[in-house]
A and B are shown apart, each in its own frame.
Chain A
Amino acid sequence: EDQVTQSPEALRLQEGESSSLNCSYTVSGLRGLFWYRQDPGKGPEFLFTLYSAGEEKEKERLKATLTKKESFLHITAPKPEDSATYLCAVQARNSSNTGKLIFGQGTTLQVKP
Chain B
Amino acid sequence: DVKVTQSSRYLVKRTGEKVFLECVQDMDHENMFWYRQDPGLGLRLIYFSYDVKMKEKGDIPEGYSVSREKKERFSLILESASTNQTSMYLCASRDVSYEQYFGPGTRLTVT
Fill in one digit per residue for B84-95: 1 if any A CB lies within 8 Å of its CB, else 0.
Answer: 000010101010
Chain B CB within 10 A, most for which of A31, A36, A96, A98: A98
> Which residue of A42, A87, A96 is within 8 Å of B104 (Cβ)?
A42
Q: Which residues of B contact A43 (CB under 8 A)?
A: 4, 90, 92, 102-105
B20 interfacial by beta-carbon distance below 8 Å: no
A32 to B98: give the CA distance in the assembly, Å: 8
Interface positions of A (Cβ within 8 A of B):
31-32, 34, 36, 41-46, 49, 87, 89, 91, 96-101, 103-106
| Given pairs A34-B100, A36-B102, A41-B105, 15 additional interface contacts (CB within 8 A) | A42-B104, A43-B92, A43-B102, A43-B103, A45-B102, A49-B97, A96-B98, A97-B50, A98-B48, A98-B56, A99-B31, A99-B48, A99-B94, A100-B45, A104-B42
